[in-house]
Structure 1
């Protein structure tokens, strides 16, 4: 089975897959060891890794390089966050070919204008494409994919833009008609009322995807009770966790005037060696270095 086929099979088997955001091969390895079903090659996380705002500043080449490196170090299927598809429908054709070739099992394309602004930024510019233009992007992605199992997920930002449930449902249905395999519905409310309301109103034949960053109380039990959500993406928890740990340790080192206290609170270097598979390197040295 291809990774895309395995992702579809996992969705069918469990009814709900858990996908963790990753921004590096190391974070991908850690997500796989933790037991996640897939990886989210997050534009937000990669932007943060470069110290840049999530505003279409990271190039497709930069994103592909990291995705390719993650795919080489994990067996998990990768859902690629390709924002608006890097341009119009012709750009989407090129992007789909490149992301499939790099090892992605799915892409998420959102219906914002290019360049986009991250969804959860307070007061951020949230402008949406015409429905017909975005349908063309979805149709282009479907027509281009080589593996029919490769998932094309359409993300509508109607709730993010404050356009309400009716417009979100209208857009989601239009994108389903264009061939989308799943619909990602997103909200910036601090509670899950919009997502639960949309889910209950959704009668489309394709399942939903959510990113519960702003409403963390929407856990797997509540999601399964809604009945039509098949994927939960933990969109920025990897980079936030890493930043939390680094901020704390770096500040303590300065405060303590050295590493004499923090060294006991962080992983030993041997654990990094394990993640790097140094044992395999040693075996190869013994066998081949003469």
Structure 2
């Protein structure tokens, strides 16, 4: 197991704030349930991105607010319980107006989640990579939503990240910068600038103009081939999210195994590609349960009647 350099007493929110504010580029890896979250931590990532797209996909629905806030919170609760590293939750548009958004933030704080990212689109949202010219929220309305989130967090270090969808919706760099600054002034702890261009140039142009006014977050889903991570680091970007790779990996793995077993009518051919059952037991620490049982259960729990029968 990799252990985070923080002592367990460091709040996850504090760890997330340090990650965002660090001068070096930090990475968040996508997870969508307790198991994937635990894998991300074990590999050594300093934080987790709880992707709305991935959580929706894992539940078999589309990334268009078909999953309710409650179902996302249920999933995120398992993720937070399974890990010691901070989680940034993809909060879409906040599940409605400022009132829905601030209630969502209070619930995230209760679960020990470190931060939330809210985007300036309309509810119900559509995944950013679908279609063009998606309508954006009114800037003032969205500023109010950010302020409401900040006012209702119950942990001072909880982070609210404002995701600017102007570029991805086909608006100008000036529009994106104007919105980002408005959200920063409304209290956003960081700005997430989104783009679906393949060359990454508009993100670097944004970063140049932004000039480290506040931490800048990106996810290079479409432009990871064109721009290397050192370029992002030099551009002053604080945090990079790998947004959906674990979900996409799991879809392929499950399909390949299912197809193979279906075709061959046996599992002997796929067994060598699978995690051994013992590794599952080890990874989820079944050994701890054995130790605890010896501590908490009576030495001979079987009642007399059952002993006689055996």
Same fold, TM exceeding 0.5?
Answer: yes
Counterparts in 2 of 1:129-140, with a 5 A limit? 129-140=137-148
2:178 counterpart of 1:175 = no
Mapped to 1, the partners of 2:136 and 2:220 lie a distance apart of 21
1:265 pairs with 267, 273, 282, which one? 273
Aligned partner of residue 108 in structure 2, secondary structure: helix
> After the TM superposition, which residues 1-290 of structure 1 pair with which residues of structure 2 at under 5 Å, given as runs?
1-13=10-22, 15-121=24-130, 123=131, 126-203=134-211, 205-217=213-225, 218-227=227-236, 229-289=237-297, 290=299
1:186-218 Cα offsets, whole Å, 9 max, x none, are: 011122112112111213621210011111223
Q: What is the CA–CA distance in structure 2 between the aligned matches of 1:220 and 1:111, rounded to whole Å?
A: 26
Q: 3-state SS of the aligned residue for 2:251? A: helix
Q: 1:29-61 CA deviation, whole Å, 9 max, x = no partner?
A: 100011111111111111101111100111111
RMSD value, Cα: 1.5
Contact kept? 2:22, 2:238, Cα under 8 Å: no
Q: 1:37 to 1:207 in 2, by over 3 A?
A: same
In 2: Cα distance, 1:276 partner to 1:287 partner: 19
Q: State the SS of the aligned residue for 1:68.
A: helix
CA distance in 2, matches of 1:107, 1:267: 33
SS of the residue corresponding to residue 120 of structure 1 reads coil
Distance in 1 between residues matched to 2:202 and 2:150, nearest whole Å = 29
Q: Structure 1 residues 178, 37: CA separation in 2 closer, same or farther (over 3 Å shift)?
A: same
Aligned pair in 2 of structure 1 residues 206, 11: CA closer, same or farther (>3 Å)? Answer: closer
Give the TM-score taking structure 1 as reference length. Answer: 0.95
**C-alpha distance in 2 between matches for 1:252 and 1:14:** 47
TM-score normalized with structure 2 length: 0.89
Question: Does structure 2 conserve the Cα–Cα contact (< 8 Å) formed by 1:176 and 1:204?
Answer: no
Q: CA deviation at 1:124?
A: 5.8
Name structure 1 gaps, 5 residues minimum. Answer: none
CA distance in 2, matches of 1:143, 1:25: 29
Larger radius of gyration: 2
Q: Distance in 2 between the 1:180 and 1:13 partners?
A: 17
Aligned pair in 2 of structure 1 residues 213, 253: CA closer, same or farther (>3 Å)? same
Are 2:20 and 2:215, in contact at CA under 8 Å, matched by a contact in 1?
A: no
Contact 2:65 2:124 in 1 (8 A): yes
Distance 1:249 1:125, change over 3 A: farther
